[in-house]
Chains A and B, each alone.
Chain A
């Protein structure tokens, strides 16, 4: 019967055909051991694909991974987290400070004074002709140059809108600025004017009124006069300046020489609103970038902003490929409107060219990205010929591929650490992550406005148990808002101890007593609140249950709720509509905490959503932001850390520990003076970064033994 035969034959043939393909596939053995090229390539795996390979536009970690290989910044951080030169060989930081001569102010022992008199007074004070406190003397000694900027008249135009419906009005402001004194300082000095006012009189700077020197043509906008005066004629001005000396002879992958105009171009590209760069806020304090000569750039800032130097670790773009002319050509070639065409649309983001150690070769969406080493890399070409970034979205298959040898490193999940750490085939690295998890209390609400209550809540939770059982011991306690590996974090501060009895005593002090049923009560009201977090994060969910239980033990009636991420953020966090929540922050190395802890950031949609307000903390946050001296920053940070730990606006829970395993055959290869190869074990840096010397890595055919392990 033909039909019957067909019915049985068709699936049999199909299956046989599919299964026979097995004999054509190379085994893992052939791919790894049997393939000599495999030793010269490094294969990394990632869960997600990159989205845009342009360092000024990318915001996701996969894109950043690739961008850091293809592009290079002016500086980066070394093993000890100090800055070190990359495309810049060295840099100078100094300050230019300005103030307007206040002719109405009385200078102690002098009376009113004109610009020349003030200048000579300062010069004499600097020369030592003045009894001064040591800090004032230090400020004066720091001044390198005192000069006079003569008075001048100019015109400023501002555009204003009365409300949404009216047209923008153009306001002409005539300014006749008085003379100004310019001070060039050896080092940035945030206390300069405070100290100078000890010489020039307490309110010499604060009593300067810029409104006297401006005239508005349009009468309707008089109300904004004070604002304009403040903007156009600020009494004092700090202009910190960074001069970068660039490395000569560095080339982009296409052979074009890198020079100062590329730095200026990269800055302008970030600031260009058309490009929608997510890094714009890092560079907003820059006043201007000047090209001094082809290997020197000067960056002048509008105000004191110490995180600024670190922003120049950003990868530098090649101007010749992305300037207006090049983009216009590309737009016309693609048949698109050149007016609307920006760097975001450019095909450069899929074929990047930088001056980093690796040259972009190929990108197959959601499959892999291949980079080749750059032979002309200024620091010497990397040892690996090829860097491959595979996209493997599933962790289990990533693990399988790692065992099979087709991926070189694997990020171990907490529950696997014990098993994989002791495996003799792999070398393992672990370190603390830069983020921490916390319980935040809404300090606008009763009873969280009482620091005793917050402290008691912290003391009722056994965080060590959470770390042991929820994180499989892959975590550490944290007590404050700084990255634990940096100097800013004060290691001497102890976390709140786990002590439910002491917590109850603290609560009793605050007026909370246990009633007959065992619930805590104050003025007949039960201690009751809701703890929320986002769904989809199992760790936070576990912490939620543990905290609820721990607090119930001491008589607090806690409800919990899990919300979908965007609802959680939009409806609860942004609107500060919550009692307590579990969330995490990922920190940068810079100690700038303005957005998260300053009292000005407590409004809806701002990040100080717990409503932490402390004037001393505010002061320290600003000082840290403005301080360019590392040692002093550390002092301020430790003080801030102490205040936050004392106030407990958050219960700081833990920082997670990551572990990565790597094939044991991968080592660092260096050449000594005689030109012989020297092999060393891979060592992680202070932050735990084990890929720091990636360019020197090699994979040996056999597992090496080191004479001294350590």
Chain B
């Protein structure tokens, strides 16, 4: 066990190192200049381009830039080129904004998928099963931005309440309960939209897992014992069908920093995804690389956690 942990940590550090090199290279070799450098502006003389490149260390060889960047990152000194704010602080602020969306979205996904999927498995082939299949595919294939627009127009014209932003604009000094509920309301639409795809996919997984477990010997044994149908499904089958999902929990970790560009832009949500997207457009390398690095760390940590979870939930696995 301990040796597994040690080995895997070393492996992950090596992977991380390569990820850092590759992502650094991709971003620096891609064409384009930081948006501060504007070659098509007549007022922008070559001397100024040079000065900006120097300020951003872009005149140095790539390996030096790499060293400078990661040195600054680990000492917490990286600043965004756009506004000279500390990158880590910016990411932290945005992370806090995206976090509620992520949490509510995940809870909606997981709590809704299970009942839907299980019921579909129990009544497989029936009307309910077929209609959930239909809706799942519908939700998977409908473009997120389109669905978002439809929902916004519907809610705004029908109920005349604001939906965009993190809170009602200009709410001012209302009671704290009201402020909280206002925030909850603004979470509702974007997180439901963020969850639709997840529900559609996850409920399909649940259904197929349940069906697979259905055919197992122990389920037949449970039935043969004369247990009530409900108990067979919810106690014997479900428990075993759950196994793969426990490990999926580890894998949703990277979603913490991903955010959703489209949903966040449409809903004017000042989140992570929007910031990273704008940074890419403006070639704000410090932000792009830091977000990239943090998400690589989270992906690796996620796989590590899911490995450990396997160990905990499935006693047959020994590492």
Contact = CB atoms under 8 A, between A and B. Distances in A.
Contacts, number: 172
Nearest to B265: A393
B164 interface: yes
Interface centre among A3, A23, A25, A401 (most CB of B within 10 A): A25
Contacts of B12: none
B108 A278 contact: no
A17 B270 CA distance: 24
Contacts of B104: 18
B242 to A, nearest CB: 11
Interface stretch (A251-259, A361-369, A415-423, A540-548): A361-369
Interface string A57-88: 00100000000000000000000000000000
Contacts of B204: none
Contacts of A29: 160
A24 B185 contact: yes
B182 A21 contact: yes
A21 B185 contact: yes
A390 B234 contact: no
A24 B45 contact: no
A599 interface: no
B160 A282 contact: no
A345 B33 CA distance: 21
Nearest to B82: A51
Interface centre among A23, A367, A570 (most CB of B within 10 A): A367
A404 interface: yes
Contacts of A19: 188
B160 A11 contact: no
Interface stretch (B2-10, B36-44, B297-305): B36-44
A280 to B, nearest CB: 6
Contacts of B235: 3
B224 interface: no
Interface string B258-298: 00000001111010001100100000000000000000000
Given A21-B184, A276-B51, A400-B153, A28 B83 contact: no
Interface in A26-67: 26-29, 31, 35, 38, 41, 43, 48, 51-52, 59
A14 B168 contact: no
B161 A566 contact: no
A569 B283 CA distance: 15
B48 interface: yes
A279 interface: yes
Interface residues of B, number: 68
A607 B152 CA distance: 45
A276 B170 contact: no
Contacts of B266: 394, 396-397
B48 A4 contact: no
A400 B152 contact: yes
A605 interface: yes
B181 A24 contact: yes
Nearest to B277: A393
Given A25-B181, A278-B44, A404-B156, A566 B234 contact: no
B112 interface: yes
A281 interface: yes
Interface centre among A392, A394, A566 (most CB of B within 10 A): A394
A393 B161 CA distance: 19
A8 B32 contact: no
B166 interface: yes
Interface string A452-474: 00000000000000000000000
A393 B40 contact: no
Contacts of A3: 234-235, 238
Interface in B156-194: 156, 159-162, 164-166, 168-171, 177-178, 181-182, 184-185, 187-188
A126 B43 CA distance: 40
Given A1-B234, A14-B111, A25 B185 contact: yes
Given A7-B234, A52-B84, 10 more contacts: A4-B234, A11-B108, A22-B159, A278-B38, A280-B45, A391-B270, A393-B265, A396-B149, A397-B267, A404-B156
Interface of B: 30-33, 36, 38-46, 48, 51-52, 55, 79, 82-84, 90, 93, 104, 107-108, 111-112, 114-115, 118, 149, 152-153, 156, 159-162, 164-166, 168-171, 177-178, 181-182, 184-185, 187-188, 230-231, 234-235, 238, 265-268, 270, 274-275, 278
Interface of A: 1, 3-4, 7-8, 10-11, 14-15, 17-29, 31, 35, 38, 41, 43, 48, 51-52, 59, 273, 276, 278-282, 344-345, 349-350, 364-368, 388, 390-394, 396-397, 400-401, 404, 406, 564-567, 569-571, 573-574, 594-596, 605, 607
